[in-house]
Structure 1
């Protein structure tokens, strides 16, 4: 389980470290930095997939995602005595992301490239450093894999450092290129764990949503990020997962309703049979809220739970009456996987807050802060 998340230099997250639990709820007003925190987790996951540079490019490039304020705030500025002004930097410009748990910790530092007229890719951010350590805190003794520029080195069981890569490109991560089942099994293990993280923030429920149309069905233990394979995912839960939990989840949200999956000619389709109706309602007939709840149920009741699941504003399109059942569903899922929920729905936050770590974000002078929490100890690797 991830117990600490650290972000520095990313959008409104100038320098923030938060503690996470098995179930964590991140909340705050619009513009407080919830989406930035969510995106920072996605960037960490993209590192393990080898596409963090491309993801930053999709956000407008490193220059568009960097913290736009000064390097630090003086007491006079915080008190409103002096205006906010730029100052001479003492540290290099960087975007830093990291996390740690009881077993492993990882951090990456992305910076600006050296200006050159020999390439058209001169605006690409470069990976300056990466570090992998044991335990929740980076120390000299806990560090066992690091990347500095093009060099990657690993510390063996005897405590001796060994170079495993000397020419790593600045756009490649050691997570994808230096992981080896013989010489760097810890890198390989953590990479695969990060690749298992699941993000759900684009579960489509519009009129043309793929989940509303029949789809060729195959065993689907993991719901797609857009929910296109909803019917197959629900049927997979019924056959190799927990059909009783699925039935109870439907009954909790829609009393007297029974889920059915039809499969004419191998094309799977969701149907809900409700008391009083002569025929079941097909997915194309369901309200946006009903369909979204089914999508969330398919994600959270997955027979192959991930190490970490992140839900971004799952309350979208849901009637307030569905928020307590959703909270119970999320709490049930948190028994087998770590769940982070980003939400500004007070009712959902209130329901989950009884058993979750609650992270309230506020913005002050353009910077996202957690005024209710003391940040856990954290050390960034030096360049």
Structure 2
């Protein structure tokens, strides 16, 4: 498990040392550096992980399946500084130090002043972190799948690799193939599900977001596509026998489905990166999504979550108060710009779910608006 990530001369950060835990929440203003943390981890996986299609010795791969970072000049911090502690070289470098199990691993990419528009950077790495890069991995972007009539059916990606896709586009095929896989007894197993099998567990957690909903997945014979449909169990006056395609249901359920499946299939070795899991969900759904994310972390998986939702934050705090997570397992970072880059404030959570500090700008807009209404 990663306990600290250090970024050097990377995008908004000249140097950032970021403690991490089983569940790390990244919050803060737009364009303050939150996504850079997820991108850094995805970039290392893309460049040195098992799924790279070319030799890892090819360097830091800026554009690939997981992230599209642009060119070397897009990576290098505007006010870059020396990094002799990483690599003694006269050229600028972009560096990453990943500390896992008290063992730091360094990844250094050299910036070629003569070729700033290249999308592969010469890289030097120390292999201690390579084993972690081979562990189960999911990265779900904020731009996820939307309701559609069909979804792709790729055995290599969804089944052989177990990857849901950065947009969650392979979730339906993964769920179809692994429908009978059992979720181990523990925090992730929903007590209200009809069975411990993945499909039934997924339905139970989706019902936390939309009561009465159920799912069906099926292959479309003779094609490279699969189909998803929803039923509603007769709730809200809807005919229980009629299946509905996602395009007639709305964004929320389909948008949330990859997050639910990624969390349910987490293992103690998994690293899961999530952007805005609350998107298109109502407040109660957002807090229940936080409960699922906390349960995945409680199984031993590591989740790094970017969120703009106070309901997600409070759902994690509630998980700590109820004993589902230890206080030290929930690490919260608040990013805000300081004029020349970004700074990070890290409020600690106590055993009652309370925060040790509440910095200005940290989920305080409700109070700000209430003060104006009462003025």
TM-score scaled to structure 2, two decimals?
Answer: 0.68
Given the alignment, which residue of 41, 45, 55 partners 2:62? 55
Q: Find the structure with the greater CA-based Rg.
A: 1
Going from structure 1 to structure 2, the CA distance change for 1:323 and 1:229 (only over 3 Å counts) comes to same
Shift of 1:91: 7.4
Matches within 5 A, 1:239-258: 239-242=180-183, 243=197, 244-258=200-214
Q: Aligned partners of 1:96 and 1:56: how far apart in 2? A: 17
Q: Aligned partners of 1:43 and 1:217: how far apart in 2? A: 23
Shift of 1:37: 1.8
Q: Render the CA deviation track for 1:350-373: whole Å, top value 9, x for unaligned.
A: 222454211111221322222347
- Relative contact order, CA 8 A, sep 6+: which one is greater? 1
Give the match for residue 360 of structure 2.
none
Matches within 5 A, 1:179-218: 189-193=131-135, 196-201=136-141, 204-206=144-146, 209=148, 212-213=149-150, 215-216=152-153
TM-score scaled to structure 1, two decimals?
Answer: 0.67
Shift of 1:201: 0.2
Going from structure 1 to structure 2, the CA distance change for 1:297 and 1:203 (only over 3 Å counts) comes to farther
Give the match for residue 359 of structure 1.
333
Shift of 1:106: 1.4
Give the match for residue 223 of structure 1.
164
Shift of 1:216: 4.6
Gaps of 5+ in 1: 73-89, 134-186, 375-383
Matches within 5 A, 1:17-96: 17-48=17-48, 49=52, 50=56, 53-55=60-62, 58-69=68-79, 71=81, 92-96=91-95
Shift of 1:9: 0.4
1:127 matched to 2:125? The reply is no
Compare the two structures and name the one with the higher strand fraction: 1
Matches within 5 A, 1:1-383: 1-48=1-48, 49=52, 50=56, 53-55=60-62, 58-69=68-79, 71=81, 92-102=91-101, 104-113=103-112, 115=114, 126-127=121-122, 129-132=124-127, 189-193=131-135, 196-201=136-141, 204-206=144-146, 209=148, 212-213=149-150, 215-216=152-153, 220=159, 221-242=162-183, 243=197, 244-263=200-219, 265=221, 268-274=226-232, 275=234, 276-278=237-239, 279-302=242-265, 307-336=270-299, 337-354=301-318, 355=320, 356-372=330-346
- RMSD value over aligned CA atoms? 3.2
Going from structure 1 to structure 2, the CA distance change for 1:262 and 1:92 (only over 3 Å counts) comes to closer
Q: Render the CA deviation track for 1:320-348: whole Å, top value 9, x for unaligned.
A: 23101211111122233111101112221
Q: Aligned partners of 2:97 and 2:309: how far apart in 1? A: 28
Q: Aligned partners of 2:175 and 2:258: how far apart in 1? A: 9
